Structure 1
Amino acid sequence: MLRLIGRTLAVLSLLFTLWLAWVVVVPVSPPASPYTVSVAQNRTMGQLARTLYADNAIRSQWVMIAISRMMGSDRKLKAGLYQFSGATALWQYLSRFNDGHPDQGSVTIIEGWTFRQFRAALRREDDLRQDTADWSEKRLLAELGLSDGSSEGLFFPSTYYYLPGSSDLELLRRANHTLTQQLQTVWEGRAPDLPYQTPYQLLIMASLIEKETSREEDRAMVASVFVNRLRVGMRLQTDPAVIYGMGERYQGRIGKEGLRRDTPYNTYTRDGLTPTPIALVGRAALDAAAHPAESRALYFVARGDGTTQFTETLDDHNAAVRKYILKKG
């Protein structure tokens, strides 16, 4: 009996070994040639294996996940585009992903980042040639053919692909060109009678909206509040602008001293828009700045659950502050 069990286990072990070898070693014809796999920032090997399996590019997602964990490659995924020509084995996919050399690298720039954060992200790209890493802002603007001012807000947040060894200057040029196109499109389709004289002023407003809320439902109302304030000569009083003006002095809270300290970006002490954008803006914030909601709201306060309370009068705003901020309502 024991001998029979032993033989059975040996046969099962052999069958499993043969199956595993078939899964790992024998190539599979991909759905297209070349087969392109996009690895986004922070994508896990589990997500990637499920994509390959759904595309019928591998025979088992679980084997791929298990082997990648044993190899440690599940923690080394390099973002970018990987191309595979012809039939490809599972081990070949793992080898490429483990080597971390995509056919095209990629870098994702997030809405609301500052230009400093953008440049820091570029410096982290090992496959990108760092031509501008030690350039001053003035030199960078000159090389891009931009006016000698601020670079803040002049680049569009998105995922950009690049060939390994290409220059970071080229990627910056593409990001600026994309922003210019997006801004021009939004400017040409803007609502009438907005308090902006130039596309750049609309860009500034979009950056304030970008930093005030990430909720799609609230962007147009935040834009409405800011536009209404400009129309009645009221100061914008937006904390993100104050924080931007504080620079490295900001340590997590503004405080009364920060609100009183005058900087070009302190919208509590100065009228109108800030002199430059305060962040990189996405299309949604641009659209909100170009098409504010129709309202008479002049105030808003966070409810504490991710939503926002908008009010028209100071009394109603103070009541909202007591209820949602001071918890006395």
Structure 2
Amino acid sequence: MSSAKPKSKKKKMQPSKKPKIILLTAVIFAVLICTILWSSLFKAYPVEGKKQMLAIGQGDTYSGFIDRLVKEDKASFPIVLKLYQKLMIHDTLKAGVYEVRQGMSIREVMVMISNIDNAQMNRILVIEGTTFKQLIDALKNDPLVTHDVSNLPYSQILQALDIPFSHPEGLFAPDTYFFAKGESDKKILKDLYSRQMKALDQAWEKRAPNLPYKDKYEALIMASIVEKETSVDSELEQVSGVFVRRLQQGMRLQTDPTVIYGMGDKYTGNITRQDLRTPTPYNTYTISALPPTPIALPSKKAIEAAMHPDSSNNIYFVATGNGGHKFTANLQDHNRAVQEYLAVIRAKN
């Protein structure tokens, strides 16, 4: 009787778990990518109502635009948006005003604002303290503006606009002006003139008593000087007060911006002692009154400051070297402030 060997049981092969893990990982990764893309590129741009206007300024960048969207909780994952712009759009932002319709994605908006042909409107930013020449140059160089008058001599521009002044400086509001494509420079200038005259009239009606101005045009001249002397809003009335008291006391204004304006194209960035001694109609180191015209386009705030100077006794001021100015009432204190300013400059250098 033979003894049979017991049969060995074969172990059943268990299916590997690796493919399932890989598949699950791929699904999770795909979901994550889709979520990121939706939250960044394909998320609807938030619009109040059926449509709204989106203004892009001169010099604005995609990076700044995207950062602003994220800060306002309108978009997520800025790195994805910036990468998409670099790889797919390439172009820079084009200044203008664009119509964003309800349902447009952030990606569609980004593409739209890279093409100026999509702009519904454009805008001109007139900076406070810039000159009429700079305003005219901006109009000349804007391809969306119809050039009717900007290439004319200044006297003919004023005549075409029916403006009863012999010099254009100061007469136009430094403001952000929105206009449709093809708007004429004539209409833009008329509107800016109207805004400036309205601001001047309103301030003149509410002016402080006993101001040393013969008329509101002289107040406009003063406003332009105040505008050029400080970029700190809180100092506007103090600067105005210094110059008003100088006029009242028969002192010369002695303000550098008037010298620079009188030099015209001769000014190359520095003023010499010879420049201060060289007479021009605008050099307030050599004339004992206001210059004959404004020297820049003053803001509404500067116009109001010219009408409401501070009530201190200060008749001098000098830069501190750290931003702003130090105001003083006598020459001794002023000279001390000058030495303090020079010490700050030497320390910085």
TM (normalized to structure 1)? 0.90
- Which letter maps to 1:88? M
2:152 to 112, 135, 159: 135
CA distance in 2 between counterparts of 1:26 and 1:294 reads 56
SS across alignment from 1:126: coil
RMSD: 2.5
Tell me, yes or no, if structure 1 residue 284 matches structure 2 residue 284: no
Tell me, yes or no, if structure 1 residue 275 matches structure 2 residue 275: no
SS across alignment from 1:236: coil
| Aligned equivalent of 2:213 | 196
Tell me, yes or no, if structure 1 residue 118 matches structure 2 residue 145: no
CA distance in 1 between counterparts of 2:330 and 2:235 reads 19
Shift of 1:108: 0.6
1:227-285, Cα deviation, whole Å (9 max, x unpaired) = 11101111100000001101111111111110111100010111110100000111111
CA distance in 2 between counterparts of 1:322 and 1:86 reads 61
2:109 to 72, 78, 93: 93
CA 1:17–1:322: 2 relative to 1, 3 Å: closer
2:325 to 299, 308, 313: 308
CA distance in 2 between counterparts of 1:231 and 1:27 reads 62
TM (normalized to structure 2)? 0.85
- Which letter maps to 1:40? G
CA distance in 2 between counterparts of 1:189 and 1:27 reads 49
CA distance in 2 between counterparts of 1:326 and 1:20 reads 55
CA distance in 2 between counterparts of 1:245 and 1:72 reads 47
CA distance in 2 between counterparts of 1:322 and 1:22 reads 61
Shift of 1:188: 0.5
2:99 to 83, 87, 94: 83
- Which letter maps to 2:128? E
CA distance in 2 between counterparts of 1:302 and 1:29 reads 46
SS across alignment from 2:134: helix
CA 1:34–1:262: 2 relative to 1, 3 Å: same
CA 1:59–1:33: 2 relative to 1, 3 Å: farther
1:151-180, Cα deviation, whole Å (9 max, x unpaired) = 111100011000011112111111111001
Q: Does the CA-based 8 Å contact 2:62-2:92 persist in structure 1?
A: no
CA 1:209–1:27: 2 relative to 1, 3 Å: closer
| Aligned equivalent of 2:246 | 229
| Aligned equivalent of 2:47 | 30
SS across alignment from 1:98: coil
Q: Does the CA-based 8 Å contact 1:30-1:55 persist in structure 2?
A: no
Which structure 2 segments of 5+ residues have no match?
1-16
| Aligned equivalent of 1:15 | 31
Q: Does the CA-based 8 Å contact 1:79-1:107 persist in structure 2?
A: no
CA 1:34–1:6: 2 relative to 1, 3 Å: same
Deviates more, 1:224-233 or 1:23-32: 23-32
CA distance in 1 between counterparts of 2:311 and 2:97 reads 43
Tell me, yes or no, if structure 1 residue 247 matches structure 2 residue 264: yes
| Aligned equivalent of 1:161 | 178
- Which letter maps to 2:329? E
Deviates more, 1:184-193 or 1:313-322: 313-322
CA distance in 1 between counterparts of 2:137 and 2:28 reads 53
Shift of 1:10: 3.6
Shift of 1:319: 2.3
Tell me, yes or no, if structure 1 residue 214 matches structure 2 residue 234: no
CA 1:71–1:189: 2 relative to 1, 3 Å: farther
Q: Does the CA-based 8 Å contact 2:123-2:179 persist in structure 1?
A: yes
SS across alignment from 1:106: strand
| Aligned equivalent of 1:257 | 274
- Which letter maps to 1:77? L
| Aligned equivalent of 2:60 | 43
- Which letter maps to 2:295? I
1:152 to 166, 169, 173: 169
Greater Cα radius of gyration, structure 1 or 2: 2
CA 1:258–1:5: 2 relative to 1, 3 Å: farther
- Which letter maps to 2:249? V
Deviates more, 1:82-91 or 1:169-178: 82-91
Q: Does the CA-based 8 Å contact 1:153-1:279 persist in structure 2?
A: yes
SS across alignment from 2:113: helix
SS across alignment from 2:86: helix
CA 1:25–1:279: 2 relative to 1, 3 Å: same
1:175 to 181, 185, 192: 192
